Structure 1
């Protein structure tokens, strides 16, 4: 019978940056809820150092919407999911709103119509 291997001798699990970015993007989608009809899905980029993930999320939002509240919800959900699924601390989640989409201006952005 072999002796059990101690925790220090088992090795380490490393989660790739691109996996953490996918987790973050999915979490942002969950927090945003329904995407604008012509909006793009959230995109995330991640920098991981010493078990800590710094996340940047880019997304589109419908207009009108409480932008600050929506961004706070995204930050909270992303930090929670990355912490839970990847086992990393998340000291920073930056949210960049790329575009606001209004059903009243669809197809007329940049032009005036009568």
Structure 2
């Protein structure tokens, strides 16, 4: 009976905890891959994550060129983030929210900034 109480192999004991910031970095990289080239003058996509047990909720912020099919590109980002986090971390991704912070048009790229109107 004591054989049943003996611990298993070392590789089968313990737990693995992956920090939220690690999951966020994976999500941000996946968003970069799916969103395509970063518009000139734009910030790279970034992500924040809330992990509860083995499930994650991800929020991605990005900037896109204008004109673009915003819905299609956001859908591609959601799909890629979900797939990569599940593959690399082994977490279920219950939600991926995409925030488009800015659209970069050719006009704003030519002037370098928007003029303020007083």
TM score, norm. by length of structure 2: 0.85
State the secondary structure of the residue aligned to 1:14.
Answer: coil
Higher helix share: 2
Distance 1:19 1:108, change over 3 A: closer
**Corresponding residue number in structure 2 for 1:61:** 64
State the secondary structure of the residue aligned to 2:94.
Answer: strand
Q: 5+ residue gaps in structure 1?
A: none
**Corresponding residue number in structure 1 for 2:3:** none
Root-mean-square deviation (Å): 2.1
Question: How many residues of Structure 1 are paired with residues of Structure 2 in the alignment?
Answer: 110
Distance 1:11 1:103, change over 3 A: same
User: Are positions 1:35 and 2:35 aligned together?
Assistant: no
User: Are positions 1:78 and 2:81 aligned together?
Assistant: yes
**Corresponding residue number in structure 1 for 2:93:** 90
**Which digits, 9 at most, give the CA deviation of each residue in 1:18-66, with x for residues without a partner?**
0000000000000011110111000100000020000000000011000
**Which digits, 9 at most, give the CA deviation of each residue in 1:72-93, with x for residues without a partner?**
0000000000000010000100
Which of 103, 106, 112 aligns to 2:106? It is 103
Structure 1 or 2, whichever has the larger Rg, is 2
